[in-house]
Amino acid sequence: MDFSTFVGAAVHDMKNSVGVITAYLEDLLARQTGEGADATLLQQTLHETQRVNGNLVQLMAIYKIERGLYPFNPEDIDFVEIADEVLARVQPLARIRHIELQAEIAEDAPGWYCDRELVVSVLTQAVFNALRYTRTKVVLGVVLTPEGLNIRVDDDGAGFPAFMLAQDYPQPGIDTQTGSTGLGLYFARQVAALHRHKARSGQTRIENLPQGGGRFVLVLP
Amino acid sequence: MNDVFGSRKFLLVEDFETMRSVIRGLLRRCGAERVDTAASGDDATKLLARERYDVVLCDYNLGVGKNGQMLLEESRFKQWITPTTVWIMITAEKNSDMIFVAAEHAPDDYLLKPITEGMLQTRLQRLLARKAALAEIVAAMRAKDYARAIYLCNQRKQEGKHVADLLRLQAQAYELNGDAERAATTYHDVLDRADVAWAKLGLAKLRAQKGDDDGARVLLEEIVSAHPHYLEAYDGLAQLLERKGDTALQLEILQRATRISPNSSARQAALGSVAARSGDMQLAAQSFQRSIKLSEHSAMRTPTAMLGLARVQTETGAPQAAMETLAGVERDFADPQSRLLAKSEALRAHVKAGDEAAVQVAQQQLMDLTVGASEAVPADIALQVAETLMQCGRQNVAAELIQFVARNNHEDQTLAERAQRVFDSGGMGEAGRELLTASRKQAAEAMSEGVKLLGQGKLPEALQSMRHARALMPQNPRALLNLAYVAVVSLEKAGWDAPLAEEARSAITAALALSPGNARATELQGKLQKLTPAH
C-alpha cells in the first residue's frame, strides 16, 4: 500500500462522515421555526460542510481522472434537470444571503451527452463561488452555440481580478488574499477535457461581463 | 408533490444504521409515508419476495453477503419487481463495476452520497416520470409485441423527452423483431449526436451477427480505447477473438478487463477458461476460484467456474481436489445439465487417478444421463460429454453418443461439423466421418419412410415405421410429432384406443419439452383432446 491509497481510503471515509453531518444539519434546520440567528448559523455551517464535500469530491475525481481510473459515463442529460439539481443544492445559502437564483435554459438547448456527476459538481462549485462575490443575483444559463452547449454562471459582483483572467491561472498554491486554491477551475478544466465529440473537446473560461460582474463558462462539444 | 411520494411504497436497503436513519428521514421529509427498511441483503430478500415496492433505494455495498447488484438481479429474475419499479443504487463513489453493468442488469439510476433532500426529491420525481413514460413500451417488449414497442417509441420521440432511452429501446425492439437494418440506423442516429458506447456496442454486435467479425472488431477496439471502463466491449472483443481462435489476445483482453473490474463472476470464469486453454494453469485456477467466491451469494450463479476449476485440478495432477470441487457442484446445483457436466468432469478425475472401477461406473452413468435420459439433453452439452469420453480414451462409448446426437439432429449441418471435430479430437477422423454420414442417413430414411407409407394410405405400416424412427431419434421433435400425427389419424379412422392415445400424448409432451410452444404440437394436442371420449 502506498500513501495515495491511504489518501483515497481516507477521503472516502471523510465523504461518508460529511454526508452524515450534512443530513443532520438539514434535519436540524427543518425543525427550526422562523429565520432566527440559530437558523442562519446552521445554514452557514451547512454551507461550509458542503464546501468540504465539494472539495473532497473534486480531489477524488481528479485523482482518478489523472490515473485513468475515473468511470467516465456520458449520458443524455436534460439541462433543466441539471439546473434544478444544482440550484437545489445552493438554494439554502442563497436564501440567507438574500441572493436571487435564476435558471435561464434556452428553448433550443436540448438534452446533451455528458457525465452527470462531473458536470453537476463543476456547476455547483461555480455557483457557490459566484454566490460569494455577487451583489444581488446569480444566473445559471444554458445556450446552444456553434462550439457546442454553452453553460454559464453569471454574477453581478466586481468581476474577476486581472491575475485570474491571465492565461496561466490557476497555479497550484493558495492565494492568501482570496483564499482560493484554484482547485475548482483546475477541476473544471479536467472535466471539460474529458468531454469530446469527433475532433473537438470541452473547454472552460472565465471572463468579465461588459455590464459588470463575472462569468464562468463551460463548453461541452 | 407530497401526494406523488405519499402514495408510493418505498424500500430502503442500507447496512449502516446511521445512514439508514438519515436516508429514511430524508424520504419522510420528501413526503414518503410508507417506507420499509432492511439492514442486509437477506433481510431485503425476504421483504422483496413478500411486498410490491414502487421505489427501492439500495446501497451498493451491503457488507457481508449479497451486494446491491446481486439483489437487483435476483429481484428482476424472480419478478419481485415490475417494469415500473424504480431501483436506485446508492454509493459513496462512482466505480466501474457499478456504472458499467450490462444494460439488462442496470439500475434505473444511482445516487452518490451525500444525499441531500433537494437532490433526492428532484431525482425521484424525474425517475418516476421516466418510468411512467416508458412503462407501456417496456410492457410491449416483454409481451414480445415489438411492432407496438417500435410504434410507441416513434410516437413518444415527438414529445422530445427521454429521447436517448427511447432510441435505445427502439434499437432493441428492431433487433428482436429481426430488422437489423433499422436497428443499425437507430444506433447511427445516436452516434451522430455523441460517441456513446452502448450504441457503438449495439452496432458491433449487429456486424458480428452478420458475420462481419472484422468490422465488429474495429468498433469494439474504438470503444475500448475511447471508453476504457466500458467493460461490455472487452467481453464482446473476447468472444470475437475466441471465434477467431486468437487465444493469446483474448487472454490479454480479459486480463485488462479484470484489472479494471475484478468483481464480475462471469468474466473471471471466462478468464479462467482462456487461461486454461493457453496452458496457464495457475492463473486459470486463481480466476475460477475468484469467480466461485464472487457468485457465492448470487441467485444467478452457474456451475461453469466450479467445472473449470475441477478440470484444472485434474490436469495439474490433483484429481482428489477435483472430486471435492465436483461434490460442491452436486451439492449446489440440482438441474440435470449441471449434474451431467459434473459427472463428465468426474470421469476425467477417475481416469487421472487410475481408478478403473470408478471409470466404468461413471461412463455408464454418462450414457444413462444422455442416450438413456427421459428428458432431452441439449446437443452441445451431449457433444461436450462425448469429447470428454473421447479424451479419456473411451472411443467406442463416445462414438455411440455422437451417433445418437447426430440421428436426433440429422438435419443440422453445423452440429454435424462440430461432431466431426469431436471425432477428430479422439483420432477417429475418418471412421467418424463414415459413422456420422451413416447415422444421419439412417435417421433421414427412417423419417421419410413413414411419411411415404402414410401417403400410400398404409396406416398400420406407417405407425410401425414412425415408432422405429422415434426409437432411433427420441429427441427429435419432428420424429415425435410424426408419430403423434399418425397415431391421431389412426384414432380418427379406427376409433378410440387408449394405449395408442397415450403413445401420442407422450410423444407430444416430449416434443413440447424440446420445442416449447411448437405450433404443430399444440394443434395435435387439441385434436387429441377432441377425440378423447367423455367419461
Asked if residue B82 has pLDDT above 90, the reply is: no
pLDDT of amino acid A34: 64
Lowest mean per-residue pLDDT among B57-71, B247-261, B280-294, B301-315: B57-71
* B463: alpha, beta or left? (left if phi > 0; alpha if psi -120 to 50): alpha
Q: Output the 3-class SS for B15-40.
A: CCHHHHHHHHHHHHHCCCCEEEEECC
Q: Name which of B7, B16, B6 is nearest B37 in CA terms.
A: B16
Here the cell at position A197 is: 465529440
Least confident window among A64-68, A141-145, B105-109: A64-68
What radius of gyration, in Å, describes the C-alpha atoms of chain B? 27
User: Which of B112, B166, B170, B225 to mutate to probe the A interface, most A CBs <10 Å?
Assistant: B112
A69 band by pLDDT with thresholds 50, 70 and 90: confident
Q: A27 to chain B nearest CA, in Å?
A: 8
Distance from C-alpha of A104 to C-alpha of A142, rounded to nearest angstrom:
6
CA distance B348 to B513: 31
If one compares B520 and B96, the residue with the highest pLDDT of the two is: B520
| B chain contacts of residue A23, beta-carbon cutoff 8 Å | 22-23, 25-26, 114-116
> Looking at the predicted structure, is the pLDDT value of residue A181 above 80?
no
Lowest mean pLDDT among A55-59, A116-120, B203-207, B487-491: A55-59
Whether B114 and A197 lie within 8 Å, measured CB to CB: no
Mean pLDDT score, B71-95: 87
Report whether pLDDT(A94) > 90. no
Whole-number pLDDT of residue B171: 95
- Cell matching residue B181: 437494418
Taking the C-alpha atoms of residue B108 and residue B204, their distance in angstroms, rounded to an integer, is: 24
* Dist CA A56 CA A45 (whole Å): 17
Give the residue from A181, A218, A187 showing the smallest Cα distance to A66: A187
- Say if the Cβ atoms of A72 and B229 lie within 8 Å: yes
Q: Which residues contact A121 (CB under 8 A, 6 or more apart)?
A: A54, A57, A58, A61, A187, A191
Contact A19, B115 (CB under 8 A): yes
Q: Which domains does chain B have, with CATH numbers?
A: 2-137 (3.40.50.2300), 144-194 (no CATH), 448-531 (1.25.40.10)
Cell representation of residue B156: 413518444
CA gap A177, A194 in Å, rounded:
31
Tell me: pLDDT of B349 over 80. Answer: yes
Rounded Cα gap, residues A62 and A59, in angstroms = 5
Summarize the confidence of residues A95-115 as an average pLDDT. 86
Nearest-CA residue of chain B relative to A54? B114
Reply yes or no on whether the pLDDT at B496 is more than 80. yes
d(CA A154, CA A210): 12
Angle at B186 between CA B149 and CA A219, to 5 degrees: 120
* Residues β-bridged to residue A152: A141, A217
For residue B59, the cross-strand partners are: B90
Question: Chain B, 238-297: which have a CB under 8 Å from a chain A CB?
Answer: none
Q: Quick count: other Cβ atoms within 10 Å of Cβ B151?
A: 15
Give CA torsion, residues B418, B423, B429, B432, to 10 deg. Answer: -90
Q: Answer yes or no: is pLDDT of B161 > 50.
A: yes
**To the nearest whole number, what is the mean pLDDT of chain A?**
84
Q: What is the mean pLDDT of residues B313-319?
A: 95
pLDDT category at A101 given cuts 50, 70, 90 is very high
Q: Is A77 left (phi over 0), alpha (psi -120 to 50) or beta?
A: beta
> Alpha-carbon dihedral of residues B18, B22, B23, B28, nearest 10 degrees?
140
* Residue type at B18 in one-letter notation: T
Touching check for B121 and chain A: CB below 8 Å? Answer: yes
In chain A, the percentage of residues whose pLDDT exceeds 90 is 28
Q: Which of residues 17-56 of B touch A (CB under 8 A)?
A: 18-19, 22-23, 25-26, 29
Compute the C-alpha angle B4/B107/B241, nearest 5°.
160
CB contact under 8 A, A16 and B92: yes
Quote the percentage of chain B above a pLDDT of 90.
63
Q: Which residues of A touch B111 (CB under 8 A)?
A: none
Mutate to test the interface with B, among A7, A57, A85, A118 (most CBs of B within 10 A): A85
Chain A hits for B164, Cβ within 8 Å: 75-76, 111
C-alpha distances (whole Å) from A11 to each of A87, A122, A126, B16 are 25, 19, 22, 18
- Per the model's pLDDT, the better-predicted residue between B535 and B503 turns out to be B503
The secondary structure of residue B105, as a DSSP letter, is: G
Amino acid type, B268: Q
Q: How far apart are CA B385 and CA B387, in angstroms?
A: 5
Chain B residues with beta carbon closer than 8 angstroms to that of A111: 163-164
B3 pLDDT higher than 80 = no
Contact of B164 with chain A, judged by CB distance below 8 Å, is answered with yes
Q: Where is pLDDT greater, at B108 or A198?
A: B108
Q: For residue B232, what is its C-alpha cell?
A: 461490455
C-alpha pair distances (Å), A217 with each of A127, A208, B160: 11, 11, 26
Put residue B516 in one of left, alpha, beta given phi > 0 → left and psi -120 to 50 → alpha: beta
Q: Give per-residue pLDDT as tens, B45-73.
A: 999 999 999 999 999 988 888 889 889 98
Spell out which residues of chain A touch residue B115, defining contact as CB-CB under 8 Å: 19, 23
DSSP A174-205: --TTT---SHHHHHHHHHHHH-EETTEE-EEE
List of chain B residues whose C-beta atoms are within 8 Å of the C-beta of residue A76: 163-165, 194
Report the C-alpha gap between B271 and A181 in whole angstroms.
45
A133 Cβ under 8 Å from any chain B Cβ: no
Each residue's pLDDT tens digit, A122-135? 999 999 889 988 99
* DSSP H or E segment with residue A141: strand A137-145
Amino acid (1-letter code) at residue A162? A
Q: B450 exposed, middle or buried (CB, 10 Å; 0-12, 13-18, 19+)?
A: buried
pLDDT, chain B, mean: 91
Cα B23 from chain centroid (whole Å): 36
Higher-confidence residue: B57 or A7? B57
Residues in chain B: 535
Tell me how close the Cα of A198 comes to any Cα of chain B, in angstroms.
Answer: 8
Interface A-B: count of C-beta contacts within 8 A: 93
Cα→Cα distances B262→A163, B248, B273, B422, Å: 46, 20, 16, 34
Query: A3 CA to chain B: closest CA distance, Å?
Result: 20
B474 in helix, strand or coil? coil
Distance CA B23, CA B8 (A): 16
Predicted local distance difference test score (pLDDT) of residue B1: 45
pLDDT exceeds 90 at position A165: no
Q: By the CB < 8 Å criterion, does B100 face chain A?
A: yes
Across the interface, whether the CB atoms of A12 and B112 are under 8 A apart is answered: no
- Cβ distance B114 to A20 less than 8 Å, yes or no, reads yes
Considering the entire predicted model, what is its pTM? 0.78
Nearest C-alpha neighbor of B229 from the set B202, B204, B259, B249:
B259
CB-based contact A88 B116, cutoff 8 Å: yes
From the list A16, A70, A113, the residue facing B196 with the nearest CB is A113
B153–chain A nearest CA distance, Å = 16
β A75-77/A112-114 pair status: antiparallel
DSSP notation for A78-101: -HHHHHHHHHHHHHHHHHHHT-EE
pLDDT tens sequence across B445-462: 998 999 999 999 899 999
Among A73, A78, A89, beta carbon nearest to B116: A89
Q: Is A175 on the interface with B (CB under 8 A)?
A: no
Helix extents (H) in B194-280: 197-209, 213-226, 231-244, 247-260, 265-277
Q: B-chain residues within 8 Å CB-CB of A110? A: 160
Residues 49-78 on A with a CB inside 8 Å of B are 53, 57, 60, 68, 70-76, 78
CB B366 within 8 A of CB B346: no
Q: Distance, in angstroms, between A177 CA and closest chain B CA?
A: 31
Give the position of cell 423483431.
B177
Supply A81's cell numbers: 434537470
DSSP A170: P
With CA atoms as reference, the chain B residue closest to A110 would be: B160
Retrieve residue A47's grid coordinates: 454551507
Antiparallel, parallel or unpaired: β B55-59 and A196-197: unpaired
Cα(B98)–Cα(B264) distance, integer angstroms? 10
